[in-house]
Each structure stands twice: as structure tokens, then as C-alpha cells.
Amino acid sequence: MIGGENYIVREASAEVACAYRNKLLSSAKLTSSGKTASIHNMADVEPYLVSLTLYGPDGKLTPLTKIKAWPYRTQKKLYDTVMEISELREEKKDETERTEDEGGDQPSPDPQEGS
């Protein structure tokens, strides 16, 4: 309940997840080597995702302007809920997993070793 009204948070659909990720990535400007050069409007990404998944008492999506008018702690709890139920959080791989997944410089195990 927010402001005395009932709201429903729904899991992000694949379409919503794509829109969220596109907005997230479009906020970062990359150099030709793939490093982040600058970031613009990244703070808008969290309330944007909430606006695509939060249904108000009238059964319609809650407008972004309304979500931005709420206290940050309220919006943050909703964002965290959407991220969790939609499994949108990217798990960070440790350096070993990243190297193995990317076919990095680690040597292949020797089948003769340990015999």
C-alpha cells in the first residue's frame, strides 16, 4: 500500500526486460575500446523499470511522473522487488570463470596429468 492505495508489482515480461536493459545501456557512452566514457540519465533507469511493472488501483500502469514524486526509499523498494522477482540482476563472475568462459589464456587440462 502506498499513500493509502493498493498497487501490484508484476514480474517484468521479456519485452519489459529488453526495454529496461536498452535504457540502461543507452545511458552509457562507450569509447571505441569498449570502456565507459560517460554516463547520462542513469538515475532514470530505476523508476522507469518500476513504471513498466507497477499497476495502480485502477489496474493501469503507474505513470513515471507519479513514481518519481514518491520518496526514494519507496521507489527503491519497488525497484529491488522487480529486480528480484524478474531475475534481472546480473551475477558477477569471478576472474577464473570469466577467463574460462571467454576461452582465455588458461591452459587446457592435460589428460595425462595425475596418472
Q: What is the pLDDT of residues 42-69, one digit of tens each?
A: 778 899 999 999 999 999 999 999 999 9
- What per-residue confidence (pLDDT) applies to 8? 96
Q: Report the DSSP pairing between strands 54-55 and 8-9.
A: antiparallel
Cα 44 from Cα 41, distance rounded (Å): 6
Q: Cβ contacts of residue 19 below 8 Å, gap of 6+?
A: 52
Q: Please report whether residue 96 resides in a domain.
A: no
Q: Please report whether residue 104 resides in a domain.
A: no
User: What total number of domains does the chain contain?
Assistant: 1
Q: What domain range includes position 24?
A: 8-89
Q: Please report whether residue 56 resides in a domain.
A: yes
More confident residue, 105 or 79: 79
Q: Please report whether residue 112 resides in a domain.
A: no
What is the widest separation between alpha-carbon atoms in the chain?
70
In this prediction, what percent of the chain has a pLDDT beyond 90?
A: 51
- What per-residue confidence (pLDDT) applies to 3? 85
Q: Please report whether residue 39 resides in a domain.
A: yes
- What per-residue confidence (pLDDT) applies to 97? 52
Res. 115 pLDDT band, cuts 50 70 90: very low
